[in-house]
Structure formats: structure tokens, C-alpha cells
Structure 1
Amino acid sequence: MEEAGVALTDDAIAKIRGMIQSGALPPGARLPTEQQLSVQMGISRSGVREAVKVLEAARVLDVRRGDGTYVTSLAPRLLLEGLGFALELLRDDTLLEVMEVRRMLEPVATGVAALRITDEDLDELSKILDDMRSAADDAERLIQYDAAFHRTVAAVTGNETLTSLLDGLSGQTLRARVWRGLIEGNSSHITLAEHEAIYHALRDRDPLLAQASALMHVNTSESWLRAVLAAPPEEPADSVAPQRSQRSTANP
């Protein structure tokens, strides 16, 4: 019985999604009532109800109590919002896969940003860098400024889907692990310098240098994360900090 209920819910989800994809229910449209959908799709009201709950959680539908259920804007930032939450639940061995995907996307995005960045964008990045320097020993503040820096760079591309993906790939848990390790290992100044290198490449509107700077930044982040994940839980972070001469200290 339970499997049958799941199948009905999946069927209802597929049919509602099909209506949205076909344009029958465009962004902002109000859905028919639960009873009307049940008759229209030939599915029980309970199946429709569960499907709406699932699609609401996925930010596809917006249930307004006392008003009705509406299709959301379907904007990438909305639909991909759950990506960051899902990545927070990944196990340690899978975090390295996340870093690999970030390495594939972020350098290219930074190179594109170098061609599109404005003076106003550069002013904003400069201010964020100042904030990062003032918070060099405060992991919580650095996590916030680091996220703001990379989000600003990604947003310069004008590609909302790419911006949302990169924001999700650089979740708070991953940033926290890297930054706290850097601070405990007295290496935060190195990652700050790499943020500055990205900024200077963007200021020069040099896409190749911007891409290379971002690649170095992500690569060293990955190296640090590997070291942190390989360390025994009871071992202090500074005892596993990569040597500077090997350029393996990471950057969030």
C-alpha cells in the first residue's frame, strides 16, 4: 500500500511538472484546486496533496494559506537553493568531489567576470577584501566575507544559474572547515593573498590571469581539505598544516 501511495505521488508530481513545462502553468500562475487537479489528473486528492508538498519543498510551488497554490518564479537562485543544503549533508569523502566540480567551474567563471566587471563591482570587492583583512583571525567573519567575495565575482558573469551553482558548491560547512584549519595553522594570510591576486587580475581585466589565479585558489583549497580530512580526529589542525614551500595551503 505504501509503495502504491508513493507511485501515485510520483505520478502527480510528473503531471504537475509537465503542466509547468508545457506552459499550461507558467511562473506566477495559480494552480487549480486540489479537487480539480484530482479529477483532471485522475489521481486521488491525497496523491495530489503529497505532490504539492514535495514541489513546495523544491521551491517549484508556493502554497499561500487561505489564498491558493502558485507556481514560483522558477528562477535559478530559487530552484537551486536546496543544493547548498544538500551538500551540507555530504560525507567527508564526497566533499572532495564537490571541490573537483568547483575546480571545473569557478576558474572559468572568474575569467568571464574579468571581461564583464565594472568599476562598481571592483569597489565592492575591494571593500570585501578590507573586511577580510580586518577579520584575519576570526573564522566566522571570514566565512561570511569569503562567501561574499566569491558570490560577487560569480554574479559579475550575469549568469544566475552559474552563480547559484557556485554558491551551493561553496557551502558554509566546507568553508568553515577550511578557514578554521587555516587560522589554526597560522596560514590565513596566504589565502588572503590569493584573494588579492584574483582581485588584481579582475582589476586588470585580464581573463587568463583571472582564470589562473582562481584555479590556484581552488587547487590549494582542495589540498588543504585533503589534509584536514586525512588527519585523525584528535590531531590538532596545525600539526597537519601543509608546508608553505609545497604551496599546498588551502583557500576557501
Structure 2
Amino acid sequence: MTDRVVRVLETFDADRTVQTAAQIGRRARLPSSTAQRLVADLVEAGLLERDDENRVRLGLRLWELALRGSLALRLRQVALPHMERVQARIREHTQLAVLEQEEALFLERLSHPQAGANITRVAGRLPLHASSAGLVLLAHAPEEVRERVLARPLRALSPETVTDAAQIRSALVRIRREGHVIAPGSIEQVSTGVAVPVRDGHGGPVIAALAVVLPREAPTGGAIEELRLASHGIEAALAASRP
């Protein structure tokens, strides 16, 4: 039953926020009667909601439960003031990502109205090998996670996405040594991603990546410095917020 509920909820994404029960059943690979029953049960529990046309969307109850005691929410709240300072200086895109099920999951994104291209969305995911934040997370992930990710066929999101596992391994060594990554054209050829790790307090494990997305030819030195200052600020705030 749990697997079926998860499959129903996973049919929703940023581009598919409203569906019929029949569409949910097809996308979740469930018999129509099973999908109808599950949708009705989830609506009754408040995890899904119906609109006036009998279409279904994610419910506020699901959002409420997700936020209770959420480590991701705590991290986002601590990081946001520091992200805002980066954004005030960089004036492009500033974003925060965590490792989740071997992908980069983005918890927050701040964007200037005139900023360049960026496909990242809050609560959206990107492959670890194809984004600056993802590469930082992959570099500091457990070895078994790195090997599983790099053993798969790696999808190119742009003509410049690095998909060769040996090249990526070399890049991950540099990221751990230098403490940052610069990834030009990895997702969109007109942009460069820059990212640094965020640790759980000073000296703790890496729990997130803080990144900016810049126009392709923009200098990156100032962005790296701003990100490092923000990362240190987040780490200090996390350490101070512990009971």
C-alpha cells in the first residue's frame, strides 16, 4: 500500500500540478479502480484536494506534515539570510541543494528579475553529475553513492555536460581539494554554475551545496568568495542553533 501511495504522489511535479484520477492511475501504473480508491482515500485524509472540475492536486495537509520537524526546513531557514546577502551582491541566481536519493534536490532559489537562464526550481531535482551543486554533493557523498552514480549511463543536459566517469572522478578530487567547483555550460551553454559545500557546523559532514548561476562569460572569483563567506555563516548558525 505504501508503495502505491508514493507512486500516486510522485505523479505530481512542477509541470503537472493538477490531474484527473485516470491520469494519475496511468502515470502510477495502477489499475483504474485502485487509483480511484487511493485518490479518494488521500483526498479524505487531506493529502490530495479536488477542484471544482473534480481534478486533483497535492493538499495542504501534505505540505503541513512535510514541514513538521523537517531538517530541510531548518537548513533553509538558517541559510536564507546568507543566501540573500549573496544574491544582493551577485544579482543573478543563488540556490541551495541537498543530496536526496542520489540526486540534487533544490530547497531554495533566489533570482534577480533580469538574471540569465536557469532551469532550477524549488523542490526540483537535477542529476548530480550535471550541475555545480550536484558535483559538490557528489564529491562529498559516501564512496558507495559516488560509485553507484558513476556506474550508470550519465545523461547529457547540454553539449558540454561531462558524462565520462573518469573525467568526473578527477573533477571530484579537485572539488574536495579546492573547496569549490566552476561548471561552465554543464546545463545550459549560456550559463556557468559555481558552488561550494555547506557543512553541518564547523568541521561537520557536508550536508548541502550553495551555488550561484552566472552568465557564461561572467568572472567567478567574486562569486566564489561570496559563497564561501555565506557557507561559513550558515555553518556557524547551524552550530549555534543546536540545543
TM-score (norm 1): 0.29
Higher helix share: 1
TM-score w.r.t. the length of structure 2 is 0.30
Larger radius of gyration: 1
Q: Answer 1 or 2: higher relative contact order, Cα 8 Å, separation at least 6.
A: 1
Structure in which a larger fraction of residues adopt strand: 2
